[in-house]
Amino acid sequence: MKHFMVQYPAREAFRPYARFGGGIYSRCLALSKSLKGLRVIHINSTASGGGVAELLKNQIPLEKDLGLASRWLALREPKRFFFVTKKIHNLLQGQKGFLSDPEKNYYLSRLDEPGRELRKILNTPGKPTVVVLHDPQVLPLINFLFAASAVIVRLHIDLSSANKSALKFLRPFLEKADRVIISHRLYRPVWLDKNKTTISYPAINPFSDKNREIASGKISGLFKHFGIDETRPIATQISRFDPWKDPEGVIQAYYLAKKELPKLQLVLEGAMEAKDDPQAAAIYNQLTMEYKNDPDIFLHGGKTLSDLSYQTWINALQRRADVVIQKSLREGFGLTVTEALWKGKAVIGGNAAGIKVQIKNGRNGFIVKSPSECAKRMVQLINNPGLARTLGKSGKNIVRKNFLFNRLILDFLEIYTEISPTKV
């Protein structure tokens, strides 16, 4: 395909999820029988890096295992396109400013040819097709999807304080969707029909290399590889180098905490795989220059491991860290928060709507509003490992009930059934 990369994630069976809730598992099997053969095309902006690609790598094979004819297409676009879509992303998360007419025209015109290519796919003989558009980068493609049985827009970003001009620009596309999926009630624009809006949380795969149990020897080997002293306290934030993730605020909190914990180390891990986030490299380079003389700050922006080893490294980092932080200012939903909670970690999260869905302050972690609050909680958790274990145990139970892929798959099967009950 000229304008899309076709992704083929590894096969995965749904059956192992039966252990996490027989009711959800049985419901998925029952719904999938009536949906067998349904063509589902998921479309997003990038095949690697970031939460959406992470979700689709797991969702597509599970849908296929349940009998749906699901596939995944990722855009092929130049860097300039993603500079514009990153600006749209920032505006939607509350940044001041506006999208210029040339930027709007470029964004829309770049999707004309991919749209025409999609139209040809949808016009080929076969079963009805549901198209799922993930996030604003691909949203204008909805103008070319009139041959689809239904179109779902899945928004993964925090719209609680969206820039009104950007939201107005995207309104016509959102209103054309048969269903819009968001991660929090605060993300629904007031003009968007409640009846076609669904709240569904992202999820993690507990069987993946990033989340399964790993041997302590492998953990130690990876820390040795990166030159991080495992015998000293470690705090980490694992996320893109993005202003909304507030890496500067995390570093400020680290320096405040270090006054009481002089042996503290900080690892900011955010390999820059995602081609749709051109801003990340500049932020990473700036932080690297600013803090290059501190041997206890480890800034990882370049991926030095194979994909499999990198997933294992993230797993090891979350398991070994004394404190896991996600100090986001805006967050649609923090998959790294869920991953750490699954590993029994007490997580310190920023005061963002998506994170407060996952962290109940004082029950399975802490919500903080400033670097000083973050530092206080870092010191508290490192000095009180018993409290950290108690909070972490509660967090793992919350993930088991709410944020594993069996529940996400059920959400989508229910939506597919609702929007195309007579067309399948």
For the stretch 305-353, pLDDT in tens is: 887 799 999 999 999 999 999 999 999 999 999 999 999 999 999 999 9
- How far apart (Å, rounded) are the C-alpha atoms in residues 51 and 67? 25
Which range marks the domain in which residue 112 is found? Answer: 4-203+404-419
Look at residue 334 and tell me if it is in a domain. Answer: yes
Look at residue 305 and tell me if it is in a domain. Answer: yes
**Residue 11 per-residue DSSP state:** P
* Nearest of 121, 203, 207, 175 to residue 412 by alpha carbon: 203
Q: What is the mean pLDDT of residues 147-171?
A: 96
Confidence of residue 132 (pLDDT cuts 50, 70, 90): very high
Q: Which two tokens stand for residue 389?
A: 């274990």
Question: What pLDDT sits at residue 422?
Answer: 46
Note whether 165 and 98 are within 8 A (CB): yes
Question: What pLDDT sits at residue 302?
Answer: 73
Q: What is the mean pLDDT of residues 175-192?
A: 97
Confidence of residue 169 (pLDDT cuts 50, 70, 90): very high
CATH number of the domain within which 44 lies: 3.40.50.2000
Q: What is the mean pLDDT of residues 383-393?
A: 97
Residues 197, 243, single domain; the answer is no
Q: What is the mean pLDDT of residues 72-79?
A: 95
- How far apart (Å, rounded) are the C-alpha atoms in residues 72 and 47? 9
Confidence of residue 271 (pLDDT cuts 50, 70, 90): confident
Look at residue 209 and tell me if it is in a domain. Answer: no
94, exposed or middle or buried, with CB in 10 Å at 0-12, 13-18, 19+? middle
Residue 6: beta bridge partners? 73
Note whether 154 and 133 are within 8 A (CB): yes
Laid out side by side, the sheet with 265-269 consists of 297-300, 265-269, 234-238, 323-326, 347-350, 365-368
Look at residue 293 and tell me if it is in a domain. Answer: yes
Residues 231, 324, single domain; the answer is yes
Question: What pLDDT sits at residue 424?
Answer: 46
Residues contacting 249, CB < 8 A, separation 6+: 327, 329, 350, 370, 371, 374
Determine the residue type at 234.
I
Q: Which of 49-53, 67-71, 176-180, 303-307 bottoms out in mean pLDDT, i.e. has the lowest?
A: 303-307
- How far apart (Å, rounded) are the C-alpha atoms in residues 69 and 126? 11
Note whether 265 and 299 are within 8 A (CB): no
**Bigger pLDDT: 424 or 305?**
305
Residue 75: beta bridge partners? 4
Look at residue 210 and tell me if it is in a domain. Answer: no
Reply yes or no on whether the pLDDT at 98 is more than 80: yes
Helices of type H across 343-404: 353-358, 371-383, 385-402
Neighbours of 30 (CB within 10 A): 10
* Nearest of 322, 373, 311 to residue 346 by alpha carbon: 322
Confidence of residue 123 (pLDDT cuts 50, 70, 90): confident
Residues 313, 223, single domain; the answer is yes
Residues 287, 398, single domain; the answer is yes
Confidence of residue 272 (pLDDT cuts 50, 70, 90): low
Confidence of residue 204 (pLDDT cuts 50, 70, 90): very high
Question: What pLDDT sits at residue 274?
Answer: 67
Residues 193, 224, single domain; the answer is no
* Nearest of 84, 60, 59 to residue 70 by alpha carbon: 60
pLDDT in tens, 205-232: 999 999 999 999 999 999 999 999 999 9
Q: Could you identify the residue written with the tokens 């829309």?
A: 108
Count structural domains, the chain. 2
Dihedral of alpha carbons 248, 352, 363, 368, sign: positive
Determine the residue type at 305.
L
Percentage of residues in the chain having pLDDT higher than 70: 98
Residues 320, 185, single domain; the answer is no
Residues 397, 411, single domain; the answer is no
- Mean pLDDT across the chain, nearest whole number? 94
* Nearest of 309, 298, 299, 366 to residue 337 by alpha carbon: 366
